[in-house]
Amino acid sequence: MQYHFADRIARAPASFLEELFRVSSDPTIISFAGGLPSSALIDTEGIARATREVMEEEPQVALQYTTTDGYLPLREFIADRYRHRLGVPATADEIQIVNGSQQCLDLFAKLFLNTGDHVGMERPGYLGAIEAFSLYEPVIDTVPLEEDGPDLNAFERLVKKTQVKFFYGIPNSQNPSGRTYSQEKRKAIAEILESSGTVFYEDDAFGELFFDAQPRLPVKRRVPDQAVISGSFSKTVAPGMRIGWMYAPSGILAKFNVVKQAADLHSNFLCQKILHRYLTTHDLDANIRKIVAAYGRKCRLMCELFDDLMPQLTHTRPEGGMFLMATLPAGLSSRRVFDEGVKNKVAVLPGLPFYVDGGGTDTLRLNFSSASDEQIAEGMQRLARVIASLR
Amino acid sequence: MQYHFADRIARAPASFLEELFRVSSDPTIISFAGGLPSSALIDTEGIARATREVMEEEPQVALQYTTTDGYLPLREFIADRYRHRLGVPATADEIQIVNGSQQCLDLFAKLFLNTGDHVGMERPGYLGAIEAFSLYEPVIDTVPLEEDGPDLNAFERLVKKTQVKFFYGIPNSQNPSGRTYSQEKRKAIAEILESSGTVFYEDDAFGELFFDAQPRLPVKRRVPDQAVISGSFSKTVAPGMRIGWMYAPSGILAKFNVVKQAADLHSNFLCQKILHRYLTTHDLDANIRKIVAAYGRKCRLMCELFDDLMPQLTHTRPEGGMFLMATLPAGLSSRRVFDEGVKNKVAVLPGLPFYVDGGGTDTLRLNFSSASDEQIAEGMQRLARVIASLR
């Protein structure tokens, strides 16, 4: 039978993330292509304890339906942390629990985008966002992402002339580039926004993962009514629970709540309860210090091996997060590096899917959080041999 | 600041389900207005045991990211159950795990509906479906739901003339009416479908909850490539885990998987693992027998109290599920019954939001799964007094 799908389905980019997950599941391949946090750094004992307590004390509540907005004490924990860590006056009323921050991408696009509306993002930009936004059939406009943040002239043109509904960016340790906006650019972005009707969407998946464990202040701090922040426990506690949140002005969040309810009523309550119990009985900051110490070491190792083994490539030098981006010497295609890499048991991700305009064919994204130090050392040697063989 | 939301947001019906949840949380009100399964019948001990085992044996896996399609052994369990219980040749490849069957409504509408496309459903129809579909701005056409299923003439006209993209129905113990399609109508529906391009979407939230514990065969059995079934563990195990599934032909499921991935990457893996462990180490059928024995008793009690205390009302006589529908005497408005009911500490749901055309003002939906027998006895007396006072 022939099925008559909606037009938006033809716009969906090929499902690259899933492809990758499958490649990455071959245990003989050392993979820098995926985006997993380190399994070894998940506090399984602490989470097991929290789980036991929830199941002993209030299983009937945790296993029943709940409200769409999410578990109030968890939302209060998140709001408190914004206040104390970043000096942002968040309240629980401004927090909506979702299924990992990917769901924010879908619901926010659904909330704002008519077919043909303009939406802005960085170039390169996060693949998961491109996939989510594309299904609402917008025009995606991009702004070059420089070392210290978006090209401000291009950003200003986009916001003032094209009047994008919202601009989506990852100011902290961006995926895929690993770049972080400077404070100067954050300030300039806020000033440009103020004379426009564009909402700024800060995806803050990595803001807790700076290797120096220091906070960077969000753009939203300067334009509270004109910005939203999405967050996630996937990188600081555990991804398998799929608990993230949207932090937004109440005028946006009330409508966001309506689309969330239509999407799946509410996020799974058992994990919300477990997570809240875990967060209030364990030291999240100590856990994060362990994670950033390990990721900082792995990132430096990967950068130094690049410089030592593949001096013909350039690469970013992330201050945090889980990814860096490398640029190949002229004439070398990332697709060939990927194909030859897989044959030689090392996987890297071609940058292509992060460019909505078909660019980036000479770029690679590498993940440094998931592999062990030994795997990074061995994998980078394999990659160096692949690149040498292709020149 | 003024936010410029997408046009679809103006189409969203007022968020009635959430309103209700809040009314229902007043402990002095006996509520028949919500839709919760009985908390007392959740096997908290069994689920706690399964949870403990998962957290002891493979916490790192259960807490990490996974693939979009869902946990393969869980999908195999679901497919096996279709084969053994209903004689439907399901395979794990045809099953996608989602966040409760509400997510199927959103993703399926996203997959099929362009703005202005026609979609069919029963009149009255499930509120959660109306809310989910409306955000894709379709034209919703309805077919009167008779005692034994949809009006076949109207169904045939809709499928053949209007060429709806898909028809959404709940053949087993429909929400809100409690009605079940006869086998004759299921057969006739399949025959009408075969000469059309319309897909049949069977929402089977209640198919395991017939009071006689006997299966009813799905329409999909006769038109396997032209029908999908959504299912859920919310009513048979526990709703708080938010685990449901879509069972669809591979030609549909491959695209459904793409929209699922863009929506939230995957459903929470921890609960998928816990649920699978629970299902393979406990007797689900014994648990379901306990549930249907209780719900059957509660339903009969509610029906008999209606007949005894409010003979001026008519009501459906469900064979299963969690809901029945009552029709008020001429001139009495369900909205007034709701308002007076809340003042008198009994909540019932006006039928209005289940009618996309503004009808149903003389109907009420009552839930019989959540309240205790004592609460049903007391609540029906309160309701009878309210109705007597309004005549």
Q: Each residue of A13-34: pLDDT tens digit?
A: 665 565 666 677 788 999 999 8
Cis amide leading into A218 (omega within 30) = no
Residue A381 lies in a domain: yes
For chain A positions 273-332, those within 8 Å of chain B (CB to CB) are: 274
Q: What is the pLDDT of residue B226?
A: 98
Beta-strand relationship, B363-367 and B349-350: antiparallel
Q: Is B46 on the interface with A (CB under 8 A)?
A: no
Structural domain count, chain B? 2
B106 in reach of chain A (CB within 8 A): yes
If asked whether residues B111 and B229 sit together in one domain, one would say yes
Q: Is B40 in the A-facing interface, judged by CB distances under 8 Å? A: yes
Per the DSSP assignment, residues forming a β-bridge with B149 are B146
Q: Are residues A247 and A373 in the same domain?
A: no
- Among all chains, which residue has been given the structure tokens 């991804």? A239
Q: Is some CB atom of chain B closer than 8 A to the CB atom of A33?
A: no
User: What value does the mean pLDDT take over residues B14-29?
Assistant: 71
Taking residue A276's Cβ as centre, other Cβ atoms within 10 Å add up to 22
Q: In Å, what is the CA distance from A272 to each residue of A69, B38, B46, B94?
A: 11, 21, 20, 30
Is A114 within 8 Å of B239 when comparing Cβ atoms? Answer: no
Q: B345 to chain A nearest CA, in Å?
A: 21
Residues A253 and A104 in one domain: yes
Say whether A102 and B197 touch across the interface (CB within 8 A).
no
Residue B51 lies in a domain: no
- Residues in chain A with CB shorter than 8 Å from the CB of B99 are 99, 264, 267-268
Inspect the interface and report whether the beta carbons of A102 and B240 lie closer than 8 Å. no
Selected for mutation to probe chain A from B200, B245, B264 (highest A CB count within 10 Å) is B264
d(CA B13, CA A252): 17
The reported pLDDT for the residue numbered A68 is 94
Q: Give contacts of A 107-166 with B, CB under 8 A.
A: 110-115, 117, 128, 131-132, 134-136, 165
Of A15, A44, A131, the CB nearest to B60: A44
**Partners of B314 in the beta sheet?**
B327
Give the whole-angstrom CA distance, residue B31 versus residue B366: 9
User: In terms of domains, do B30 and B97 share one?
Assistant: no
Long-range contacts for B20-23 (Cβ within 8 Å, ≥24 apart)? B20/B347, B20/B349, B21/A65, B21/A67, B22/A67, B23/B342, B23/B347
Does A258 lie in the same domain as A244? yes
Residue A249: pLDDT band (50, 70, 90) is very high
Handedness of CA B243, B247, B253, B259 (dihedral sign): negative
A326: domain CATH number is: 3.90.1150.10
Sorted by sequence, the CB contacts under 8 Å of residue A191 that are 6+ apart come out as: none
- Residue B24 lies inside a defined structural domain of this protein: yes
Q: Which residues in chain B are contacts of A132 at CB distance < 8 A?
A: 262-263
Q: Is residue A72 part of a domain?
A: yes
In the prediction, which pLDDT does B14 show?
64
In this prediction, residues A75-92 reach a mean pLDDT of 97
Same domain for B202 and B247, yes or no, is yes
A129-152 per-position pLDDT tens digit: 999 999 999 999 999 999 999 999
Instruction: Please choose, from the candidates B62, B12, B16, B29, the residue with its C-alpha nearest in 3D space to the C-alpha of residue B277.
Output: B62
Are A105 and A39 in a shared domain?
Answer: no
State whether A131 and A252 are in the same domain: yes
Is the residue at A200 inside a domain?
Answer: yes
Q: Could B48 and A42 be called an inter-chain contact, meaning their C-beta atoms sit closer than 8 Å?
A: no
Strand pairing category for B323-327 and B363-367: antiparallel
pLDDT of residue B200: 98
Q: What pLDDT, in 10s, does the model give residues B306-362?
A: 999 999 999 999 999 999 999 999 999 999 999 999 999 999 999 999 999 989 999
Contacts with B65 from chain A: Cβ below 8 Å: 21, 35-36, 234, 239-240
For B51, the closest of A55, A267, A268 (CB atoms) is A55
What are A379's two structure tokens? 């994998």
Residue A124: cis peptide before it, omega within 30 degrees of 0: yes
What are the φ/ψ torsions at residue A323 (nearest 5 degrees)? -135, 150
* Residues A359-368: tens digit of each pLDDT: 999 999 999 9
CB-based contact A240 B135, cutoff 8 Å: no
Name B325's bridge partners: B365
Q: How far is the CA of B168 from the CAs of A48, A320, B128, B363, B376, in angstroms?
A: 41, 48, 12, 21, 31
Domain end position, chosen among B248, B263, B281 = B281
Whole-number pLDDT of residue A350: 94
Asked, for residue A49, whether it belongs to a domain, the answer is no
Question: How far apart are the CA of B228 and the nearest CA of chain A, in angstroms?
Answer: 12
Which B residues in the span 201-260 are in contact with A, Cβ-Cβ below 8 Å? 225-226, 234, 238-243, 249, 251-252, 255, 257-259
- The pLDDT > 70 percentage for chain A reads 97
Token duo for residue A351 = 């940058």
Please indicate if any CB of chain B lies within 8 Å of the CB of A43.
no
Q: Both B98 and B154 in a single domain? A: yes
- Which of B:62-91 have CB within 8 Å of A? 62-68
Report pLDDT for A242.
96
* pLDDT of amino acid B41: 96
Please, which residues bridge with residue A324 across strands? A366
Total number of residues shown for chain A? 391
Cβ contact B264–A225 (<8 Å): no
Does one domain contain both A185 and A237? yes
Closest CA to B180 of B225, B143, B217: B217
Provide, rounded to the nearest whole percent, the portion of chain B with pLDDT above 90: 92
Predicted complex ipTM = 0.96
pLDDT attached to residue A317: 98
Mean pLDDT over residues A282-303, rounded?
98
A256, A281, A306: which is the final residue of a domain? Answer: A281
Question: Which CATH number characterizes residue B248's domain?
Answer: 3.40.640.10
**A contacts of B47 (beta carbons < 8 Å):** 55, 59, 63
**Three-state helix/strand/coil letters over B212-240:** CCCCCCCHHHCCHHHEEEEEECCCCCCHH
Mean per-residue pLDDT, A294-303: 98
- What distance in Å separates residue B131's CA from the closest CA in chain A? 6
Nearest to B239 among A36, A65, A112 (CB): A65
Place A9 in a pLDDT band, splitting at 50, 70 and 90.
very high
The H or E element that residue B246 is part of is strand B244-247
Domain of A317, in residue numbers: 7-43+286-390
State whether A240 and A220 are in the same domain. Answer: yes
Q: Please give the pLDDT value at position B391.
A: 81
Which of A281, A304, A323 is the C-terminal boundary of a domain?
A281
Q: Provide the pLDDT confidence category of residue B107 given band limits of 50, 70 and 90.
A: very high
Q: Which residues of A touch B106 (CB under 8 A)?
A: 262-264
Residue A105 CB contacts under 8 Å (≥ 6 apart), including other chains: A128, A129, A132, A133, A168, A203, A230, B262
Residue A202 lies in a domain: yes
Nearest C-alpha of chain A: how many angstroms from B313?
Answer: 31
Are A68 and B18 an interchain contact pair (Cβ–Cβ within 8 Å)? Answer: yes
Note the Cα B189 to chain centre separation in Å.
20
| Binary contact (B66, A240; C-beta < 8 A) | yes
| Residue B16 pLDDT greater than 70, yes or no | no
The answer to whether residue B93 is domain-embedded is: yes
Mutate to test the interface with B, among A264, A273, A322 (most CBs of B within 10 A): A264
Contact (CB<8Å) A242/B264:
yes
Are B99 and B218 members of one domain? yes
CA distance B324 to B317: 7
Average pLDDT of chain A to the nearest whole number = 95
Model confidence at A10, pLDDT cuts 50, 70, 90, reads: confident
Per-residue confidence (pLDDT) for residue B17, from 0 to 100: 60
8 Å CB contact of B18 and A67: yes
A10 touches chain B (CB under 8 A): no
For all residues of chain B together, what is the average pLDDT? 95
Chain B: give the shortest CA distance to residue A151, in Å.
Answer: 25
Contact between residue A177 and residue A316 where contact means Cβ atoms under 8 Å apart: yes
**Which of B18, B57, B63, B103 should be substituted to probe chain A, the one whose Cβ sees the most A Cβ atoms within 10 Å?**
B63
Within 8 A by CB and 6+ apart from B157, the residues are none
Rounded to whole angstroms, the Cα distance separating B276 from B95 reads 14
User: How many C-beta neighbours within 10 Å does residue A182 have?
Assistant: 15
pLDDT tens readout for residues B209-243: 999 999 999 999 999 999 999 999 999 999 999 99
pLDDT tier at B21, thresholds 50, 70, 90: low
**B353 contacts chain A (CB < 8 A):** no
Give CA–CA dist B308/A332, Å, rounded. 83
- A80 to chain B, closest Cα gap in Å: 25
Q: For the segment B112-152, what is each residue's pLDDT rounded down to a tens digit? A: 999 999 999 999 999 999 999 999 999 999 999 999 999 99
pLDDT at residue B25 in the model: 73
- What per-residue confidence (pLDDT) applies to A1? 87
The pLDDT of residue B19 is 61
pLDDT of residue B15: 58
Beta carbons of B149 and B181 less than 8 angstroms apart: yes
Element at B95 (helix H, strand E): strand B95-98
Nearest-by-CA chain B residue for A165 = B4
